[in-house]
Amino acid sequence: MFKINFSLNNIYRFQAKNSCLVYVKKIDKRNLFIDNKLLAEDIGTFIFDGKNIVYDNQKPDILIYDLLNKKMELLLPEYRLGEILFSNYRTHVGNRINQIRETVFYDYKERKAIFINSPLPTHEVNGNLLFEQPTNTTLKSINLETGTYNWEVDLSVYISSVLGVFGNQLWIYTGTDELMSLALDTGQVLQRIRSNDLHPAVSNANLVANAVHFEAIHGRVTFLKDRDYLEFDLATCQVIRQKSFDTGNPYTDWAFSVSSLDDDYCYFVGNQGRDAGFAQWVGVLNRKTLEVEWSEHLGKQNQRDFWALTKAPISDGNKLYIHDSEGTLHIFEKEENA
């Protein structure tokens, strides 16, 4: 299905969209590249939507590079870029000058900044709502246009993950192993579902970044962790599909680590067999058949301790990108007859 194309060493962070690879290469300082061409040196972080690259530098400033027109523009001077890219081209930034930290949303399509006095955000919902976790037990909803609060609720439990919105409900996962839904307009708690009531395989340890996928368009949450695949229907609050990859054969078991979704396929890293340790394999799971269609071992014959595939694979066009713990980016290309 895939064959190795080439590898890039010393990669700190990357994004691939629309057949374009953007990455930061860390040598003495972080250098930003587009398809192996140097764009900027000594940057902080960046976000890439397939058409524009927004990044900060060490002055600090926030800049935008238009790939189509090959044009550079200064967006906000003396600001750092946050880690969250919102919908509608909004990006969160924080002022670090003189130790001041404030929340700013910049709509780089409209070239408009929205300043909000609030702690750091976690999610934008439906274009104008911001959810936060200032105490790890409290959620707040803020109107991005006015900067005013819509509602605030203290759940009295640790908020492990804000999953997303389906219909008029916000779904979260808590530190007490519960799936919880809240009314989007009021914050009222509507449902609390113990994860073990869904399936023994679903536990707090399973709900880690890039192992749980919230699919609002299909109204479901998909889990792929350890030796289990599971789909949970958000409308009926029932498990609708499940498969265990514990075959009883130590040579054919699959243990999944982190993954990404692309239509009918799930791209994962993990281990084959019952051997404990770090993820050494990359593979593709067909979600229609729930069979592993392709896999390849990337581990070393005489592996050093702690070498692993730590990031979820990224599929873009006919390429698959896999980042390992030593900073090597492995790039696979789909074979023509696949």
DSSP string, 89-158: TEEEEE--GGG---EEEEETTTTEEEEE-SS-EEEEETTTEEEE-SSSSEEEEEETTT--EEEEEE-SS-
What is the model's pLDDT at position 231? 92
Predicted pLDDT of residue 103: 65
Q: What is the arithmetic mean of pLDDT over 93-117?
A: 63
pLDDT, tens digit, 9 for 90 and up, residues 217-254: 999 999 888 888 999 999 998 899 999 998 887 778 89
Does the pLDDT value for residue 98 go beyond 60?
A: no
Would you state the structure tokens that stand for residue 250, as one six-digit string?
């130590």
pLDDT mean over 115-122: 59
304, pLDDT greater than 70: no
pLDDT digits (tens, 9 = 90+) for 179-194: 899 998 899 999 998 8
> What pLDDT, on the 0 to 100 scale, is given for residue 328?
92
58-90: per-residue pLDDT in tens?
777 888 999 999 999 998 887 777 655 444 445
Residue 31, phi-psi category: left (phi > 0), alpha (psi -120 to 50), beta (remainder)? beta
Cβ-based neighbour number of residue 28 at 10 Å: 7
Q: What angle do CA 114, 139, 103 make, to 5 degrees?
A: 25
pTM, entire model? 0.86
**For the ranges 46-50, 196-200, 281-285, which has the lowest average pLDDT?**
196-200
- Judge whether residue 203 has pLDDT over 60: yes
Tokens 């399936």 sit on residue: 199
Q: What b-and-e string marks burial along 245-263, b requiring 16 or more CB atoms within 10 Å of the CB?
A: beeeeeeebbbbbbbbbee
Confidence at residue 300, expressed as pLDDT on a 0 to 100 scale: 66
Over pLDDT 90: what percentage of the chain?
Answer: 36
Can you say whether the dihedral through the CA atoms of 233, 237, 241, 242 is positive or negative? positive
Would you say residue 286 has pLDDT above 80? yes
